[in-house]
């Protein structure tokens, strides 16, 4: 017990949430990787790979949560590095799912956008903590130039990640009390740009669309499928027609419908054999199929409670940097989780966002573990959570020392009184 208390410092609730997510990840990824197992001679290969990343991520959590939060500002150096990697990814990157999102260096394949998200959160937390050395106008300008530039570089190949990252940073600026006039101007410009893009996508003549980037046609198709623009192709004589365009969404709905209240139990799902991204983008649908609605609610509860605990940690922080840092990390994890779950249940168009710490993936898993390590570091060194045992032991030692000193003083006084009486 003493070893566990010394090893797992920081907020104990965050540790419990982290362990539950890792456990669910191992079980569901092992179940959902059936399509990958068919392609490997060893059926243990996919889960061993995923478990290895989880173990490496766990080590990262142990290391980072022992680093005082003031040293975590060094992650801002990743911002210029991420910009360089994002610039070269469209040229030298690896194409998967019709997008250049991956970069391969020395045999290691990773997503530069994941490092960009981490650096952007630390960067904005650092700037918001610079008051009063910097004015609000200066802070806003540096945030827009830094975070806005990163989001623009991510946007062409990964719209959902760029949108989500800027949304989280916008929330941080609101929480950080950036003047509302700056935020309203930013929101207005973004809405105008969004309407322009939507107008080009849906109102421009088809002769123009051939000159647009391929990703725009992909976005257009996803929006049309979600809002039922091609419903006449889906329904034929009262029956639902599964096509190549709605294949993933249809089988995700089937998985959710089969789940019921308690599910089919892990390993007994059927739609994992049909969903191309059952272990990644649509793993939440597999969770509901195998663990039921109750299991899906439990997973949702873990992420929501994580955000609640992050808010409690932030309220206990006296300094600005750890407060905004922990809020940024928590918001990024939870917003991405809600985006993934919304796609799985059909609330929003397909985005390609993995479920943090549960979906199979190397870069995403490792970086999510880094976020948990940062949250635990802030809870420990800025909020003073999880250090009560050590404080109690120190207080007991001080009390024992004072008591011993008082006893010695009384003994000396008694001896002195005895000598005086004899004289």
Cα 162 off chain centre by: 14
Residue 308 has pLDDT above 90, yes or no: yes
Residue 334 CA to residue 362 CA, distance in Å, equals 19
Phi, psi of 245 (to 5 degrees): -75, -40
Contact 275, 286 (CB under 8 A): yes
Question: How confident is the model at residue 203, as a pLDDT?
Answer: 67
Question: How confident is the model at residue 422, as a pLDDT?
Answer: 41
pLDDT, the chain, mean: 82
| 356-392 pLDDT tens trace | 999 988 888 999 999 999 999 999 998 888 765 554 4
| 215-240 pLDDT tens trace | 666 666 666 666 664 444 445 555 66
Sign of the CA dihedral running 180, 186, 188, 191: negative
Decide: residue 300, CB within 10 A, 0-12 exposed, 13-18 middle, 19+ buried: middle
The alpha helices in 33-135, defined as continuous H runs, are 34-37, 45-64, 78-92, 112-128
Residue 14: closest CA among 393, 390, 391, 378: 378
Helices 12-32 and 45-64: crossing angle in degrees, nearest 10, is 170
What is the average pLDDT across 37-60?
83
235: left (phi over 0), alpha (psi -120 to 50) or beta: beta
Residue 221 has a CB neighbour count (10 Å cut-off) of 16
Residue 16 has pLDDT above 90, yes or no: yes
């Amino acid at each position: 017990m003493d070893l566990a208390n010394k090893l797992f410092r920081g907020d104990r609730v965050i540790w419990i949430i982290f362990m539950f997510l890792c456990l669910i990840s191992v079980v569901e990824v092992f179940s959902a990787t059936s399509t990958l197992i068919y392609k490997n001679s060893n059926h243990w290969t996919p889960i061993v790979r995923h478990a290895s990343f989880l173990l490496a991520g766990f080590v990262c959590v142990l290391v980072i949560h022992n680093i005082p939060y003031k040293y975590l500002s060094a992650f801002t150096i990743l911002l210029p590095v991420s910009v360089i990697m994002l610039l070269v990814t469209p040229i030298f990157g690896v194409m998967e799912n019709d997008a250049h999102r991956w970069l391969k260096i020395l045999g290691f394949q990773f997503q530069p956008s994941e490092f960009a998200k981490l650096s952007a959160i630390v960067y904005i937390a650092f700037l918001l903590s610079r008051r009063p050395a910097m004015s609000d106008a200066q802070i806003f300008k540096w945030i827009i130039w830094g975070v806005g530039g990163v989001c623009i570089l991510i946007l062409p190949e990964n719209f959902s990640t760029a949108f989500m990252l800027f949304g989280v940073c916008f929330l941080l600026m609101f929480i950080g009390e950036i003047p509302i006039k700056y935020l309203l101007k930013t929101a207005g410009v973004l809405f105008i740009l969004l309407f322009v893009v939507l107008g080009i996508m849906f109102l421009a003549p088809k002769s123009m669309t051939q000159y647009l980037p391929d990703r725009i046609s992909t976005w257009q198709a996803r929006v049309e499928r979600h809002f039922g623009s091609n419903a006449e192709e889906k329904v034929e004589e009262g029956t639902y027609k599964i096509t190549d365009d709605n294949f993933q969404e249809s089988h995700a709905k089937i998985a959710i419908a089969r789940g019921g209240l308690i599910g089919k139990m892990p390993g007994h799902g059927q739609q994992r054999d049909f969903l191309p991204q059952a272990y990644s983008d649509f793993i939440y649908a597999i969770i509901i199929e195998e663990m039921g609605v109750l299991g899906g609610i439990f997973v949702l509860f873990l992420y929501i409670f994580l955000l609640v605990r992050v808010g409690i940690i932030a309220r206990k922080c006296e300094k600005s940097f750890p407060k905004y840092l922990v809020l940024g990390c928590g918001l990024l994890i939870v917003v991405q989780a809600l985006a993934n779950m919304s796609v799985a249940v059909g609330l929003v168009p397909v985005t390609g966002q993995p479920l943090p710490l549960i979906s199979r993936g190397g870069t995403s898993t490792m970086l999510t573990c880094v976020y948990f390590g940062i949250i635990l570091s802030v809870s420990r060194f800025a909020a003073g959570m999880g250090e009560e045992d050590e404080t109690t032991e120190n207080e007991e030692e001080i009390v024992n020392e004072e008591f011993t000193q008082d006893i010695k003083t009384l003994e000396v006084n008694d001896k002195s009184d005895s000598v005086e009486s004899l004289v």
